[in-house]
Structure 1
């Protein structure tokens, strides 16, 4: 089977399409024939060597976190799925490995693919959807009548986060480029700020939650946008940011929290239900596996709206 691997840290040129044996599953695993895999910023931060403390430095390594596919085989202890089921799921964020024709997965890392979405849309959902759920429910605890700022609202998580925040009754301000103004309004944002025309740092409003999905707004800059008991959420964990957040939260009413994705079966179930109820999944571009290097180069430039995915034959 084909699988994307890399044997050293670097840019997209380190990614290789290799021939590997089809995985052998254990009794609590399923063999999945992969149909599509989404592209996540964490991917290039890992193969670029920025996350060595969390990913380790043992090679070869694999790429790809969330995916969709078909169940080919089930282990003896598997009870929730059967061969032929269409599913979506995700692998360990720091190990990856979804960019392969076949993968071995535990059933707790899967959910049935909602019938009203394509395999490409389903692959784009687990990381973004579960991240948005965790931010809304746990990190920011977004509720009715709260003022929520979402910076980077046209990215993969942002598209979902805007919709979820509105569903919870919040007043949402979405920060986007000119290209995303119309779309952000379509997703339900109450106010849309084009950062190319109005710098976010100059906003006069104060918010109960400032969610930075662009990774370009620092906590220091965000403080002036926050109410005294507000929460700032960022999405790039590192030992330094986690330590800074821990110290800050002892002494300040303005809390700093960092997303570390923790998938759960309940989260998957909620996400599937929201999708069946009409949650919009926005795809930017679809690439083939043979163009994996170009796919990551283009997505890394950050000009798209929504998620890009790689399809496997």
Structure 2
């Protein structure tokens, strides 16, 4: 089978296609013929060597964490899934495994049946950012119509799920996005939208109960300027030092800095599937063929696109 791998850290230039044997499965695993996998910022952070404390430096490494496809084989102890099922899922160790392959062996507890009304590219976009959005909602605590929330960088994959989940909680959401994202942010449920190319959120003198920075560009220090006296800053893209530092700083301030660390599970997937049944939409702005994987990652790393980017395998 074909696989996209890299044997050293670096830019997209280190990515290459190799031939490998089809994986065998354990009793609790399924073998899935991958039809699509999505691109997440974590992919290039690992590839560039920015997360070696967690990813390690053993090569070859693979790209991608969440996927969708068709079940090819099932392990002897697997129940509820059969050969031929259309499924989506995520690998167990996102730091050391990958799904940039034609066939992937995955623990059956991390595979779910694909809803019939979404395609493989949309399904492959769910696990990582969908789980992160559901985890963020959980971190926010008791949110309601009077809860004021600022979502900075609101129309990427994470924001797409988060805005729609917040809408289902009736929160009062202000979204910050670029010009091409304004209409999407409104359609996904934002009460108000700020086009950062035309306005500066800090000039509004507004104050929020919760600020979540999906762009990674605002930061807690700056966000404090627009946070209420007792407020939360949610950080889904922490630097390694920020995880212990936030715990210490929170002892001395009512403006709390919370790091979001998420792991896909049936619990969160259930929330997301229920949201899909209630009208949540998944926007995949661009789909690249497997042979154009370098172009796909270059496009994704530039940012500025709406929703998700996916790679499909024939």
- Deviation beyond 6 Å, 4+ runs, structure 1: none
Change (3 A) 1:252 1:54: same
Aligned to 1:70: 70
Aligned to 1:273: 274
| Cα contact 1:51–1:238 (8 A) shared by 2 | no
By how many angstroms is 1:142 displaced?
Answer: 5.4
| Cα contact 1:32–1:104 (8 A) shared by 2 | yes
Distance 1:299 1:28 in 2: 34
List per-residue Cα deviations over 1:233-253 (Å, max 9, x = no partner).
Answer: 111233201011111122211
Aligned to 2:28: 28
Aligned to 1:127: 128
Normalising to structure 2: TM-score of the pair? 0.97
Secondary structure of 2:174's counterpart equals strand
* Map 1:137-216 → 2, pairs under 5 A: 137=138, 139-141=139-141, 143-144=143-144, 145-216=146-217
Could you list the runs of 5+ residues in structure 2 that have no partner in the other structure? none
Distance 1:233 1:84 in 2: 40
Distance 2:36 2:225 in 1: 41
Distance 1:12 1:142 in 2: 42
| Cα contact 1:63–1:95 (8 A) shared by 2 | no
Normalising to structure 1: TM-score of the pair? 0.97
Distance 1:182 1:53 in 2: 39
Distance 1:93 1:230 in 2: 31
Change (3 A) 1:165 1:142: farther
List per-residue Cα deviations over 1:271-291 (Å, max 9, x = no partner).
Answer: 112112221101110001111
Aligned to 1:4: 4
List per-residue Cα deviations over 1:250-308 (Å, max 9, x = no partner).
Answer: 22111111121222211112211211222110111000111111110011111211101
Aligned to 1:97: 98
Distance 2:99 2:218 in 1: 30
Secondary structure of 1:116's counterpart equals coil
Aligned to 1:236: 237
| Cα contact 2:11–2:47 (8 A) shared by 1 | yes
Could you list the runs of 5+ residues in structure 1 that have no partner in the other structure? none
Distance 2:266 2:161 in 1: 19
Distance 1:89 1:142 in 2: 29
Equivalenced residue count is 312
Aligned to 2:113: 112
| Cα contact 2:165–2:275 (8 A) shared by 1 | no
Distance 2:96 2:289 in 1: 22
Distance 1:15 1:261 in 2: 27
Distance 2:15 2:308 in 1: 20
Distance 1:237 1:215 in 2: 8
By how many angstroms is 1:11 displaced?
Answer: 0.2
List per-residue Cα deviations over 1:89-134 (Å, max 9, x = no partner).
Answer: 1112212311100001011111111111111110111111111000
Q: Does 1:84 align with 2:87?
A: no
Distance 1:99 1:26 in 2: 20
Distance 2:142 2:302 in 1: 30
Distance 1:93 1:146 in 2: 33
Aligned to 2:43: 43
Aligned to 2:285: 284
Distance 1:93 1:227 in 2: 36
| Cα contact 1:205–1:225 (8 A) shared by 2 | yes
Change (3 A) 1:243 1:203: farther
